[in-house]
A and B are shown apart, each in its own frame.
Chain A
């Protein structure tokens, strides 16, 4: 192709400009690599330390009494799943509902108050949330339970999901809402079936972030789910959780428990990654060509 007036080399870019361009590009690449390195490092380290202890027994058996070798964390794996299910059932709809209110209705003072409250709640230390739930639910029911653990984690999910939902809904152009209202679709229907649907990819990402964040929380479970050496599938009974189990085993004096703690941490991360990946796959099916 013949040279054209706008070609880069005809612009005679100065050395300085080319240098800063290169520098900025490599800085961005470097930053991206730095983000991936810690995650990979943690994962590899967990594999080395705990990979050897993950076996059939570990995944299917309950813990052995102190001093005995073997046993596993099957009950904790199930317990974590149970607690996270409760947390998601509470946190996801409340978070999304709150985000919808903030984005679609909350323009006035009350909206600002909710927004401020959500940000403060986001900053409340997780152990404080654990104590609050202990006071509100555990003391009244007079025993620890999977349900109270789920409530504690669910509360922690709400602000993250609410603010993410709000941001994503505000990114939906107003002309999309107008199109729907102009068709004679009621406002609530427009919000749920058009606006929220248009923003769904971002909202789901927000939910997954909140989920992943609380999945490994230990402090709020200390006085709510409490932990359990045995099987439990009841919501109103104390329940083992991987994070609790890892904590207990890691500070124990037994070598075998230390190994199992590493293995538990590995399983926890694998569970989170698997859950996030599963949601991604499930929600990306049926995506259309040309969706921007």
Chain B
């Protein structure tokens, strides 16, 4: 089951450059929350702070309160590796491990974390590929084909399966469909809709129609600040802030 996320006073820097300014946001469990905004507004940085991927960039740091379920993401003695295990991430560009088979890609997170039971790995791989709606397309070539040999849309679903295999509680998606064609995109969107039964999903998107289609809640970021955060319907029909209105009506961004 998914868990909720509470963010209070989150600041993030790249070197001396303040990229996120005191973000407060509460993400509901088992729902899809979209994060929208123009390029460079900090939306990717925001989700990367949630699983401490932000700090893997040289000179990047973040501070503030982030609670995922009962877990203090930036608490003293919290291990970022453990955080990332429980909060899965799907990236903008499909990034399967190029030299691994389809099966090994999905199993990688389990095996490299010391999970050795072969039968259970088999089961988790199958379950994850079914959840990400890729199973029927790859079940005959699991061990024969490399993950990199799949089409872009299939690769992205493979990456989703890979994240799901380690059984996270939250799934972060950083523009997961922006490199894909419309058909692959709609498959990913359907998939996101299914996934919220089991996971809390936070999705960054450039595409406002996509946010409107998949998310119950939407947050609008601008220049490192969260301008408005509400039910998706409200954001797209009667936004409270002028800047939100300007953005969604296409006046800038």
Interface residues of chain A, those whose CB is within 8 Å of chain B, are 107, 173, 175-187, 189-190, 193-194, 197-198, 200, 288-292
Which of B4-12, B22-30, B32-40, B80-88 lines the interface with chain A?
Answer: B80-88
Chain B's closest residue to A187 (CB) is: B81
Contact B146 A289 (CB under 8 A): yes
Partner of B84, one of A181, A198, A289, A292: A181
Contact B163 A182 (CB under 8 A): yes
B172 to chain A, nearest CB (A): 8
In the assembled complex, the Cα of A176 lies from the Cα of B159 at a distance in Å of 11
- Asked if B3 CB lies within 8 Å of chain A CBs, one says no
Closest 4 CB pairs of A and B: A290-B149, A184-B85, A183-B109, A182-B89
A34 to chain B, nearest CB (A): 34
A175-B91 contact in complex given A183-B166, A184-B166, A289-B145, C-beta closer than 8 Å = yes
Which of B92-100, B216-224, B245-253 lines the interface with chain A?
Answer: B92-100
Partner of B109, one of A175, A184, A197: A184
Partner of B97, one of A182, A198, A200, A290: A198
A289-B97 contact in complex given A183-B166, A193-B112, C-beta closer than 8 Å = no
In the assembled complex, the Cα of A65 lies from the Cα of B108 at a distance in Å of 61
A111 to chain B, nearest CB (A): 12
- Asked if B56 CB lies within 8 Å of chain A CBs, one says yes
Partner of B91, one of A179, A186, A292: A179
Contact A180 B97 (CB under 8 A): yes
Q: Which residues of B contact A194 (CB under 8 A)?
A: 97, 108, 112
Interface residues of chain B, those whose CB is within 8 Å of chain A, are 51, 53, 56, 58, 81-86, 88-89, 91, 93, 95-101, 108-109, 112-113, 141, 144-146, 148-150, 159, 162-163, 166
B31 to chain A, nearest CB (A): 22
Q: Which residues of A contact B150 (CB under 8 A)?
A: 290
Q: Which residues of A contact B84 (CB under 8 A)?
A: 181-184
A178-B53 contact in complex given A290-B145, A291-B148, C-beta closer than 8 Å = yes
Which of the listed residues B98, B100, B163 has the most CB atoms from chain A within 10 Å of its own CB? B98
A160 to chain B, nearest CB (A): 23
Q: Which residues of A contact B145 (CB under 8 A)?
A: 288-290
Chain A's closest residue to B56 (CB) is: A181
Chain A's closest residue to B172 (CB) is: A182
In the assembled complex, the Cα of A175 lies from the Cα of B150 at a distance in Å of 17
Contact B95 A288 (CB under 8 A): no
Contact A183 B162 (CB under 8 A): yes
Contact A176 B95 (CB under 8 A): yes
In the assembled complex, the Cα of A177 lies from the Cα of B146 at a distance in Å of 17
Contact A292 B148 (CB under 8 A): yes
Chain A's closest residue to B108 (CB) is: A183
A184 to chain B, nearest CB (A): 3
Q: Which residues of A contact B82 (CB under 8 A)?
A: 184
In the assembled complex, the Cα of A178 lies from the Cα of B159 at a distance in Å of 12
Can you add 9 more A-B contacts, CB < 8 Å, to A179-B159, A180-B108? A182-B84, A182-B91, A183-B112, A183-B162, A184-B86, A193-B112, A198-B98, A198-B99, A290-B145
In the assembled complex, the Cα of A97 lies from the Cα of B223 at a distance in Å of 42
In the assembled complex, the Cα of A180 lies from the Cα of B95 at a distance in Å of 10
Contact B99 A200 (CB under 8 A): yes
A183-B56 contact in complex given A194-B97, A291-B148, C-beta closer than 8 Å = no
Contact B109 A185 (CB under 8 A): yes
Q: Which residues of B contact A184 (CB under 8 A)?
A: 81-86, 109, 113, 166
Contact B97 A183 (CB under 8 A): no
In the assembled complex, the Cα of A177 lies from the Cα of B98 at a distance in Å of 11
Contact B149 A289 (CB under 8 A): yes
Q: Which residues of A contact B166 (CB under 8 A)?
A: 183-184
In the assembled complex, the Cα of A291 lies from the Cα of B148 at a distance in Å of 6
Q: Which residues of B contact A189 (CB under 8 A)?
A: 112
Contact B113 A288 (CB under 8 A): no
